[in-house]
Structure 1
Amino acid sequence: MNDSLQQKFADPHRSVCFVGTTPPKASTEDMQMREIADRLLARLETLEYDGLIVYDIQDESSRIEKPRPFPFMETRDPREYSKLLSGLNSKPTITYKSVAQKDKADFDAWLEEAWTQYGLHNLVLVGSPSSEGEIKLSLNDAYAALQSHDKPFHLGGVTIAERHAVKGNEHERLLSKSVNGCEFFVSQAVYNAQATIDLLTSYARSCRDQGITPKRVILTFTPCGSAKTLEFMEWLGISVPEATKYRILDAEKPLAESVRICQNNLEQILDACLPLGLPIGLNIESLTNRKAEIDASIQLYQLLKATLDLRLAERHLQQA
């Protein structure tokens, strides 16, 4: 199962598409968690997707002074949910792990359990959301621990175009994360196409200059149907240009407008970045539990996957 995901990632001519999800809240009983997983997979039955991305939700209130628009809730262990989903649909999961809260010994034990007890092979490690508070394990130390671990995990990293817009060096982070073992990257939700294009162009040029094959970048998209969801996106650090914000809020059907915006953003990114030889993937998520937004995320998935597949097919024909 792990090999097939790595093989898919390594083929630049094919798309790789995921659905992002969060584990149920910590108080959820096993039986109820199974029902939640069943409902999720039933919604995805009509989709062709390569796997699921299961997030490790942390309380990020130290990162920002504004109050969190939706209350933070502890969740079940992402490893449990990943194992459950993979068992039910026979597709691989990519499991996030926030590393700052525990020390190296705990992290080593977590890795051992992830592989042997939970059968998880694909990980994305995430560092502390801010420099505030105690960091027991840095992201670089976690990468080093993983490299010295005896199990061959398929490792990914997070990439944030908004950081590139501010500091101009996110592409250097991607290069150094690759040296630390990252084989793919998952972006924060994209609402600012230009910020993403600037980052990916810098990354592709640096790879070309250094004679490196660029890693797969999985772009995350999410629908937005209300002022509250928009507020939450901004709280999470997702860059939403002013004009885009008003296009959504002033639309007769905000959700449908946000889906159109996401498709347009993807097309702009593909126009700019496919010619650079960057292998692109997709990850579609719903940031809320609102039924309308969850339904819209399914439509968004179908639309964006079709958009990416068409562009890849056209490009393949041009190169043939």
Structure 2
Amino acid sequence: MLKEKILNRRPGIVTYGLTPPKAVNSQEKIKEISEKQTERIKDLDIDGLVIYDIQDEKDRIEDSRPFPFLETIDPLIYSNEYLKNLAVPKIIYRCVGKYSHSQFSQLIKSDAGKDMFSVFVGAASRNQKVPLRLSQAYEICKATNPNLILGGVAIPERHMKNREEHIRIISKLESGCKYFISQAVYNIEAAKDFLSDYYYYCKSNHIEMVPILFTFSPCGSLKTLEFMKWLGISIPRWLENDLMNSEDILNKYVSLSKAIFSELLDFSIEKEIPIGCNIESVSVRKVEIEASINLVNDIKSIIASRI
């Protein structure tokens, strides 16, 4: 019932996110990975499965990438050909900048007439030259497949710098977005500031708020922590100190995630902001994958106790 929950702006939506296997893998390896993912996810009580489209972000920052960039399988192909046995709605991310106008038009048109969910992602930085801008992708979608249940990206940490993230998502809402999925959240103050400005702006301008899903991504090593910082995720100094000096980084992070989401949920319930949660598993480490599965169940319990 993901479509109904999104269109009716219901709180408590829970999704699970993953990255398709690397394109360099053999067919046998891809099949093996997909079967393991299917087995892990099939019994999860989730509203949707988020499948990411990964792009190289070297133009966004001068520092060297902690992990090398390797192209992954197209998320729609992975969904249709390898995860077809998972009876759960799929939310397909699309990095629109890698397509030409005609390529993207054809891609979007092919989904017409189906209940399809997608999140469009723009260029990694303003300096990146791309053949298709995010605003153009929204226009193409509106013209060729207005029934696509379109979502957008929200970055609460960016709100700390310019105090304009709520204006960004309102603009995307006006372009057709009906829900938003955030970047991984570590900074609760940034998230609450963003939600507060979103709430009061919508209230003042008589705009109905749409669901915002806050993302949590289990971090179980200093290397993963370093990569998250490289991605631009804001990690408060006190928290970084705690994680770096913890004997069990993963357990510390999971406890923190539940505490952050609980506080955000209480904050949103008071203002009737429809928030949800997206738990992602983008690591190949077994302990982090298992932690993401457990976190889904814990988050579901938290939501059930509040809503």
Q: TM-score range by the shorter chain?
A: over 0.9
SS at match of 1:264: helix
Q: CA deviation at 1:28?
A: 2.9
Task: Verify: 1:72 aligned to 2:77, yes or no.
Answer: no
2:205 to 204, 207, 210: 210
**Which residue does the alignment assign to 1:265?**
260
Percent identity over paired residues: 38
**Which residue does the alignment assign to 2:24?**
27
State whether residues 151 and 178 of structure 2, in contact with CA within 8 Å, keep that contact through their aligned partners in structure 1: yes
2:277 to 262, 272, 282: 282
Q: CA deviation at 1:34?
A: 2.9
Task: Verify: 1:7 aligned to 2:4, yes or no.
Answer: yes
**Which residue does the alignment assign to 1:188?**
183
Q: CA deviation at 1:29?
A: 3.9
Alpha-carbon distance between aligned partners in 1 of 2:27 and 2:109, rounded to the nearest angstrom = 23
User: What per-residue deviation string (whole Å, max 9, x for no partner) do you get for residues 266-296 of structure 1?
Assistant: 1221222221111111111123211111111
User: What per-residue deviation string (whole Å, max 9, x for no partner) do you get for residues 59-79 of structure 1?
Assistant: 001101111111111011111
TM-score, with length taken from structure 2? 0.95
1:221 to 216, 221, 225: 216
SS at match of 1:15: coil
User: What per-residue deviation string (whole Å, max 9, x for no partner) do you get for residues 184-223 of structure 1?
Assistant: 0000000001101110111111111111210000110011
**Which residue does the alignment assign to 1:318?**
none
**Which residue does the alignment assign to 2:287?**
292
Alpha-carbon distance between aligned partners in 2 of 1:166 and 1:77, rounded to the nearest angstrom = 33
Alpha-carbon distance between aligned partners in 2 of 1:102 and 1:133, rounded to the nearest angstrom = 14
**Which residue does the alignment assign to 1:156?**
151
Alpha-carbon distance between aligned partners in 2 of 1:159 and 1:41, rounded to the nearest angstrom = 28
**Which residue does the alignment assign to 1:93?**
90
What amino acid is aligned across from residue 56 of structure 1 in structure 2?
D
**Which residue does the alignment assign to 1:317?**
none
Q: CA deviation at 1:85?
A: 5.5
Call closer, same or farther: CA 1:88–1:31 in 2, change over 3 Å.
farther
Alpha-carbon distance between aligned partners in 1 of 2:10 and 2:97, rounded to the nearest angstrom = 36
Call closer, same or farther: CA 1:111–1:11 in 2, change over 3 Å.
closer
Task: Verify: 1:51 aligned to 2:84, yes or no.
Answer: no
TM-score, with length taken from structure 1? 0.91
How many residues are matched?
Answer: 307
Task: Verify: 1:110 aligned to 2:133, yes or no.
Answer: no
Q: 1:123-202 counterparts in 2 under 5 A? A: 123-150=118-145, 152-202=147-197
**Which residue does the alignment assign to 1:61?**
58
Alpha-carbon distance between aligned partners in 1 of 2:23 and 2:82, rounded to the nearest angstrom = 17
User: What per-residue deviation string (whole Å, max 9, x for no partner) do you get for residues 153-204 of structure 1?
Assistant: 0000000011111110110111111110000000000000110111011111
Alpha-carbon distance between aligned partners in 2 of 1:40 and 1:255, rounded to the nearest angstrom = 21
SS at match of 1:88: coil
State whether residues 61 and 68 of structure 1, in contact with CA within 8 Å, keep that contact through their aligned partners in structure 2: yes
User: What per-residue deviation string (whole Å, max 9, x for no partner) do you get for residues 29-51 of structure 1?
Assistant: 44432321220121224421112
SS at match of 1:238: coil
1:83 to 80, 84, 102: 80
Alpha-carbon distance between aligned partners in 2 of 1:160 and 1:200, rounded to the nearest angstrom = 11
Alpha-carbon distance between aligned partners in 2 of 1:110 and 1:165, rounded to the nearest angstrom = 35
**Which residue does the alignment assign to 2:226?**
231
State whether residues 93 and 120 of structure 1, in contact with CA within 8 Å, keep that contact through their aligned partners in structure 2: no
**Which residue does the alignment assign to 2:37?**
40
**Which residue does the alignment assign to 1:316?**
none
User: What per-residue deviation string (whole Å, max 9, x for no partner) do you get for residues 75-106 of structure 1?
Assistant: 11111112235521111100000111222111
Alpha-carbon distance between aligned partners in 2 of 1:58 and 1:115, rounded to the nearest angstrom = 25
Q: CA deviation at 1:297?
A: 1.0
SS at match of 1:234: helix
